[in-house]
Amino acid sequence: MQLFRTTGPSFPNGTAMRFVSIQQWRPIWGSFLIIGLVVLCGCSKEELVTMTSTMQQKAKEAIAEVNEIPVVADILPPQGSGQVQLTTPVAIQTAYVRFYPVGEGRPSVIQWTSYDPEAGPETYPALLVRATTSASTLDQIVDQTLPSEIYFQASKDADVLSLPLGSFIDLTVARSQPNSKLVLATVAAGELYDPSGARHAISGITIEGVDL
Amino acid sequence: MRRLLFVTLAGVIVGLAQGWLSANPSTRSPNQALAVHGTVPEATAMADAGIKVVNEAEKFLKQISPPNTPPKLTMAIANSLYRFRGELPKTVMHGERLTLMGEPIGMELSSRAATCQGLIHPFVLQAAGAPEAAKFRQKLLLDLDRSMPKREEQLAQIRQWIESGNIDQAASAYDEIVVFIYSTIYFLSSNDVAPRLGTFLTTGAQLTSAATKPRTVQARQKFDEAIVNQLPNSTALTQWAVTVSDSIRSTGQAKLADDSTMGDGPACFAELLTRWQNAHAAWQRVAGLRWAGQWHAGDSRNPLVMPELKVWNDAVIVAAMQIIEADAQSIQPESVPNRHQSYLQVIAKELPKLSPDFVKQAMTALDKLLQRNPSYADNVRNYDAATRDVLAFRSRAADQAAQLLRSDYPLWNTIVATRARTSGKDFGVFPEQSNLVYPSLSGSASATINAIAPKLVDQTASIDRVIDLGTQSKTAAASLHQGCYATVLQVRLPESEIVKMEDALMVSTEHPPLSLAATDAIVAARTGNHVAAGGKVVAVHLEPTISRFTTMPDAASVIVPYGEIPSTNDQTMMNQILVRADIMTDWVQHRMGIYDPE
């Protein structure tokens, strides 16, 4: 599944788009298609890993070709990931984290999202984990526990699951490595509510978002 | 206890709502006459007189004909019928004249008067066989004969007036003869009557044919005059906006109106919105007048096509942008935060009434104000990013919850369209089988309201875009949809809930919201504007569409969004009716959730 996390359908909305336009991607789509077919035809894991790395290499070369710029290591940057531990767990394929200082003595807000924060919750599953804090930078809250608001919608037609206004579930903030661009939120177990008022137990949420 | 509260509050709603909406038949007063708009001034007195006649006739019929009892006429009753037999035909004629004056009550009067005549007929037939009837008939014949020479003189005079174009005098004199003739001949056979009528019928026909055109022209003139009086003046608005924005640009303030009250940019913007509300109500009245006038033959104007309305709407947008842009040009950077937040408050207060285009343009102009203070602009951007997703998810969840509630609280217009159909002898506001979208009267309003009341009252219904009508009225009104709308008692959200919203949106007394959506969330909760609401129907009112729009009060015009006039089927305006519900609120939908007012 790692393959699809880096090259899946959400990729064109991702950060790589800042370097490569859709037209420029055209030569690479063929490579992805081949990878997809290989997966479907049932190759062994080892074969797949080999092919994947070959294809990723080819993809990088293709990008270099069309851009005429040197290949840099983070041209395919980390996409973040997560999991919502409902009765049937839901995997989050991409994740972002944003820290918003509003200034003038207001609290700041940190938000983890499964969708591009510029585009809003329009891709599914859509997850928003949000906390307000008096900190003025993200680094100040690493390793801290904060009360958080949770919003989750599995698909466009699915119910929005959330907490009542004024209710929170604790989350802890972590960075896997000191300078990593990935910031992890681990949300404790709790109950979310659907619009009918029915409760949905979660045994936790993890979301590791990319901080840009 | 809850029931008692219902009844008390329902009374309050009806009382309050009647304050701003003129009386019409309702489930609480089914015999109330349809409202008259009185654009042609004599319509009011004519309608009042006609209503008095049919009310008395209906009451009398009820007295002499208890339910399930065969008709029985005594001579005493026959004598009492004397008055009605003359007045009812006159009322039928006046109903037709009222229709020419664009008054929906005209059809109602003609139909009720004609129905009474029909109901009286069996009594007359029965009385004709009574022993004392012969003597009574002789008296009536003698009355006819004796009065004939004088009457013929009068009829000759009437014909002269008709020929010289003195229609009103002719009509009024003819009315008197109508009352006498019809009150006399009802008990006589046609063989007896025919030779004694002289030129009565031919004069009547001559009058009708001569009167229709001048009356149409006269009514048309009144409508045109009224439209000219109502039509909002786009040029004046544009001039005002130029003066105001020039003054703001040079001094930061401007005169709000012709008096000396000065105000800053947001105050001028609020004044612009007040002017728009008044003009919007005027546009609704213009639409009503156009519909009323359209009834006349030869009026081919499509009342829904009003190029002037677009000119006005464009002028309002330009004015709004001019005011904000003038402010942006003269403002000191340190004043930007306060000014920006004031504009947001002013716009949010009126937001549910405004067109999306207007809001978009105003927000674009506000961006120019923000550019004067880049660090504040950054805060605003961050604030928006930090709050918009919460608002989006909460709004989605609220929509989903409201959708679930709608299975128990269908939309009010859906309830009317499904339950208030004509069925057998029961009149409804839709024919039994039809695809009509807009309700209309096919029988008398009181018969209709009595027939539909049990089908509509106590139903649970939902409505959307509920707008508070201000502290004085204590009511709120919902959007008009396909001829249906509703009024509810003002519901403001509890402070404990508002505090939670403020926390989520990082708002406090010192820190007002920085985005329009967040400002709207707080303002709507405090003022009692709701995305939707649901509750029990406690009363239903029937309001003729033409009269409602022709006399639209400024505050009530919010049932239609600013910049629009209601779409409707323009073929049958004269009997089209608005079905208004008074609803006791069980829940309201705010953009951040569903709330129970209890």
Q: Quick: pLDDT tens for B361-383.
A: 999 999 999 999 999 999 999 99
Query: What residues of chain A, 185 to 204, have a C-beta less than 8 Å from chain B?
Result: 194-196
| Interface contact A149, partner B, CB < 8 A | yes
Q: How far is the C-alpha of B296 from the C-alpha of B273, rounded, in Å?
A: 36
Strands A169-175 and A161-162 come out as unpaired
| b/e map B146-162, b = 16+ CB within 10 Å | ebeeebeebbeebbebb
3-state secondary structure chain A: CHHHHHHCCCHHHCHHHHCCCHHHHHHHHHHHHHHHHHHHCCCCHHHHHHHHHHHHHHHHHHHHHHHCCCCCHHHCCCCCEEEECCCCCEEECCCEEEEECCCCCCCEEEEEECCCCCCCCCCCCEEEEEEEECCCCCHHHCCCEEEEEEEEECCCCCCCEECCCCCCEEEEEEECCCCCCEEEEEECCEEEECCCCCEEEECCEEEEEEEC
**Pair A30, A50: CB distance under 8 Å:** no
**Peptide bond just before A147 cis, omega within 30 deg:** no
Res A60 pLDDT > 60: no
Query: What residues of chain B, 329 to 348, have a C-beta less than 8 Å from chain A?
Result: 337
The radius of gyration of chain A from alpha carbons, rounded to an integer in Å, stands at 19
Closest among B91, B103, B23, B47 to B573, alpha carbons compared: B103
Q: Which of A107, A108, A111 sits opposite B389 (nearest CB)?
A: A111
φ and ψ at residue B342, rounded to 5 degrees: -65, -45
The reply to whether residue B390 touches residue A106, judged by beta carbons under 8 angstroms, is no
Type and span of the H or E element at B137: helix B133-163
Taking contacts as CB-CB distances below 8 angstroms, the residues of chain A near B506 are: 102, 106-107, 109, 132
Query: Would you place residue B19 in the very low, low, confident or very high pLDDT band (cuts 50, 70, 90)?
Result: very low
| Interface contact B390, partner A, CB < 8 A | yes
**Pair A35, A3: CB distance under 8 Å:** yes
| Interface contact B389, partner A, CB < 8 A | yes
Q: What percent of chain B has pLDDT over 70?
A: 91
Cα distances from A106 to residues A110, A170, B16, B78, B525, in angstroms, run: 13, 21, 43, 86, 22
pLDDT at B62: 83
pLDDT at B533: 97
The radius of gyration of chain B from alpha carbons, rounded to an integer in Å, stands at 30
| Interface contact B393, partner A, CB < 8 A | yes
Q: How far is the C-alpha of B265 from the C-alpha of B314, rounded, in Å?
A: 20
In this prediction, residues A94-107 reach a mean pLDDT of: 92
In this prediction, residues B78-105 reach a mean pLDDT of: 86
Res B476 pLDDT > 70: yes
Q: Which of A104, A106, A195 sits opposite B401 (nearest CB)?
A: A195
Query: What residues of chain B, 394 to 413, have a C-beta less than 8 Å from chain A?
Result: 394, 396-398, 400-401, 403-404
The amino acid that residue B511 corresponds to is H
pLDDT at B570: 54
pLDDT at B193: 87
Q: How far is the C-alpha of B127 from the C-alpha of B138, rounded, in Å?
A: 14
**Token pair belonging to B254:** 């401007």
The reply to whether residue A104 touches residue B379, judged by beta carbons under 8 angstroms, is yes
* CB-count burial class (<10 Å; 0-12, 13-18, 19+) for B201: exposed
Mutation for testing the B interface, residue in A130, A160, A207 having most B CBs under 10 Å: A160
Q: How far is the C-alpha of B525 from the C-alpha of B507, rounded, in Å?
A: 14
Q: How far is the C-alpha of B569 from the C-alpha of B579, rounded, in Å?
A: 15
The residues, any chain, with a CB within 8 Å of residue B44's CB and separated by 6 or more, are: B36, B38
Query: Would you place residue A11 in the very low, low, confident or very high pLDDT band (cuts 50, 70, 90)?
Result: very low
| Interface contact B503, partner A, CB < 8 A | yes
Size of interface A-B (CB pairs under 8 A): 84
The reply to whether residue B390 touches residue A149, judged by beta carbons under 8 angstroms, is yes
Taking contacts as CB-CB distances below 8 angstroms, the residues of chain B near A109 are: 386-387, 506
Helix (H, G, I), strand (E, B) or coil at B376: helix
Per-residue pLDDT tens over the stretch B105-142: 999 999 899 988 888 877 777 777 777 778 888 888 99
Closest among B274, B263, B277, B276 to B234, alpha carbons compared: B276
pLDDT at A58: 57
pLDDT at B185: 84
Taking contacts as CB-CB distances below 8 angstroms, the residues of chain A near B503 are: 132, 166
Least confident of A31-40, B146-155, B252-261, B406-415: A31-40
Taking contacts as CB-CB distances below 8 angstroms, the residues of chain A near B378 are: 103
The reply to whether residue A105 touches residue B511, judged by beta carbons under 8 angstroms, is yes
The reply to whether residue B390 touches residue A130, judged by beta carbons under 8 angstroms, is yes
Query: Would you place residue A18 in the very low, low, confident or very high pLDDT band (cuts 50, 70, 90)?
Result: very low
pTM of the predicted structure, to 2 decimals: 0.83
ipTM of the complex: 0.84
**Pair B21, B556: CB distance under 8 Å:** yes
Least confident of A29-38, A113-122, A193-202: A29-38
Q: What are A169's strand-pairing partners?
A: A148
Res B29 pLDDT > 50: yes
Mutation for testing the A interface, residue in B400, B495, B505 having most A CBs under 10 Å: B400
Per-residue pLDDT tens over the stretch B139-191: 889 989 999 999 999 999 999 999 999 998 999 999 999 988 988 887 788 88
Closest among B477, B597, B577, B565 to B17, alpha carbons compared: B477
**Pair B302, B565: CB distance under 8 Å:** no
Q: Mean pLDDT for chain B?
A: 88
Search chain A and give the residue with CA nearest B509: A106
| Interface contact B388, partner A, CB < 8 A | yes
Closest among A64, A51, A56, A130 to A98, alpha carbons compared: A130
The reply to whether residue B385 touches residue A106, judged by beta carbons under 8 angstroms, is no
Query: Would you place residue B298 in the very low, low, confident or very high pLDDT band (cuts 50, 70, 90)?
Result: low
Q: How far is the C-alpha of B375 from the C-alpha of B372, rounded, in Å?
A: 9
Per-residue pLDDT tens over the stretch B443-464: 889 889 999 999 999 999 999 9
Q: Cβ–Cβ contacts within 10 Å for residue B308, how many?
A: 14
Least confident of A47-56, A89-98, B432-441, B493-502: A47-56
**Pair B120, B84: CB distance under 8 Å:** yes
The reply to whether residue B379 touches residue A196, judged by beta carbons under 8 angstroms, is no
3-state secondary structure A151-191: EEECCCCCCCEECCCCCCEEEEEEECCCCCCEEEEEECCEE
In angstroms, how far is the first alpha carbon of chain A from the final one? 24
Q: Which of B383, B386, B504 sits opposite A165 (nearest CB)?
A: B504
The reply to whether residue B389 touches residue A103, judged by beta carbons under 8 angstroms, is no
**Pair A183, A99: CB distance under 8 Å:** no
Closest among B494, B504, B411, B496 to B460, alpha carbons compared: B411
Q: Which of A100, A120, A159 sits opposite B382 (nearest CB)?
A: A100
The reply to whether residue A102 touches residue B383, judged by beta carbons under 8 angstroms, is yes
Helix (H, G, I), strand (E, B) or coil at B511: coil
In this prediction, residues B326-355 reach a mean pLDDT of: 96
| Interface contact A159, partner B, CB < 8 A | yes
Least confident of A187-196, B70-79, B328-337, B392-401: B70-79
Mutation for testing the A interface, residue in B334, B381, B396 having most A CBs under 10 Å: B396
Give the CA count within 13 Å in the CB-facing half-sphere of B173. Answer: 21
Residue bearing the bigger pLDDT, A10 or A173: A173
The reply to whether residue A162 touches residue B388, judged by beta carbons under 8 angstroms, is no
